[in-house]
Amino acid sequence: MKDRHRVLFSPLNIGGRILRNRLVAPPMVQLRPITSPAGLKWYSDLAGGTGLVIVEATGVPLFGDTLSVQKLARLAEAIHGQGALAAVQLFPLAHLKEPAAPDSLSAADIILILEQFAHAAKICRDAGFDGVEPHGAHGFLINQFFMPGKNHRTDGYGGSPDARGRFAVEICRSIKQAVSDDLLLLYRHTPTGDDYSIDDSLAFAHSLADAGIDILDVSPARGRVAAELAAPFKKTLPVPVIAVGGMEDPDAASEALAERRCDMAALGRALIADPLWPEKVRDERIDEIFQCVKCNGCFEYLHAGEQVSCAQR
């Protein structure tokens, strides 16, 4: 292994859990039921060379009857069996396309969602997962609460930046109260938006850290260079930072870690194209990597309702 790539494969201790390396398989909707044989194989493949696998956005109302401890335990075992830690990204609605907006939620709706996050976290813990991640990014419901252009509430969940971040902070607190330190608590956030700045996000991230998050997952984090938008969080937060975007180049990912712009590098489409990316980089078989060419064929499969795979293979 060349020295410049060695940083990708250094271990990381977070809350007493050891990631064998700094590579993350991020949450990616892939249209295979996550506890089906096809879903288990998908996640087992992603876990083969990464330090952490984050299972795709999964609606908290589904935990219990639809997603039982027994079913999810098989998924945790499939990931752990390949040597990676396992987390589940939690989504506040049953499905990503379910319509909802901050202004449409009643106080009772918010209380119910907080309870559902706590319940889902308990099930993930009992199934053997290492962590959970509220999905607060990419313009979905939790992120919309943080957006002044989307959140017009006049109660304690709208108005000031602190009030607009309250929903996310309370979700994190509800999870911590439910499972304490039994699980790592991640949070995914989009660092800038049409109507909020990186400084707004930095203040918000400190509130999340105060609420008990163990890892901040910044998506997207690529600016002019990989992890540029993650760097301000890495510089000031007391928790490790995952950077998403632009990490498919081993040199770029290594530089982002070496320059301390982030603590972990998420690969995404690079792993769809070649799940053996980590192994090939570790063994310096870079020329053998099946490169993602950003044709977006995987997204086309997704939008067509077909199981996601690399369109070039």
Which residues make Cβ contacts (< 8 Å) with residue 158, sequence separation at least 6?
102, 145, 151, 152, 164
Q: How far apart are CA 167 and CA 252, in angstroms?
A: 35
Helix/strand/coil (H, E, C) string of 25-42? ECCCCCCCCCCCHHHHHH
Q: What is the mean pLDDT of residues 162-179?
A: 98
Q: Which pLDDT does position 202 carry in this prediction?
A: 98
**Position 168: which residue type?**
A
In a domain, residue 25? The reply is yes
Q: Which residues contact 273 (CB under 8 A, 6 or more apart)?
A: 290, 291, 292, 310, 312, 313
* pLDDT at site 24: 98
**For residue 125, what pLDDT is reported?**
98
The SS3 of residue 281 is: helix
Helix (H) or strand (E) holding 3: helix 3-6
Domains: count for the chain = 1
Q: What is the mean pLDDT of residues 187-215?
A: 97
Radius of gyration of the chain, Cα coordinates, nearest whole angstrom: 18
Does the pLDDT of residue 6 top 90, yes or no?
yes
Assigned domain for 313 exists: no
Residue with tokens 């982002």: 256
Find out whether 169 and 208 touch, Cβ atoms under 8 Å. yes
Q: Is the pLDDT of residue 14 over 80?
A: yes
CATH code (residue 243): 3.20.20.70
pLDDT of residue 50: 98
What letter represents residue 51's amino acid? G
Residue 184 backbone phi and psi in degrees, to 5: -70, 140
The pLDDT value recorded for residue 68 is 98
pLDDT at residue 65, as a whole number: 87
Query: How far out from the chain centre does Cα 42 lie?
Result: 17
Does pLDDT of 2 surpass 80? no
What pLDDT, in 10s, does the model give residues 103-151?
999 999 999 999 999 999 999 999 999 999 999 999 999 999 999 999 9
In the numeric block, which tokens belong to residue 138?
Answer: 């990419």
Q: Residue 125: which domain range?
A: 3-303
Q: Give 93's DSSP letter.
A: S
For 123, phi then psi, to 5°, come to -65, -40
Q: Give percent of the chain above pLDDT 90.
A: 97
For residue 252, is it within any domain? yes
* Whether pLDDT at 58 is above 80: yes
**Is residue 310 assigned to a domain?**
no
Query: Measured in Å, how far apart are the chain's first and last C-alpha atoms?
Result: 27
Q: In the prediction, which pLDDT does 194 show? A: 86
pLDDT at 3 exceeding the cut of 90: no
Q: At a CB cut-off of 8 Å and minimum separation 6, what does 145 contact?
A: 102, 151, 157, 158, 164, 165, 166, 167, 168
**pLDDT tens-digit map of 217-275:** 999 999 999 999 999 999 999 999 999 999 999 999 999 999 999 999 999 999 999 99
Residues 196, 147 contacting (CB under 8 angstroms): yes
CB proximity list for 160: less than 8 A, separation 6 or greater: none
- Average model confidence (pLDDT) across the chain: 97
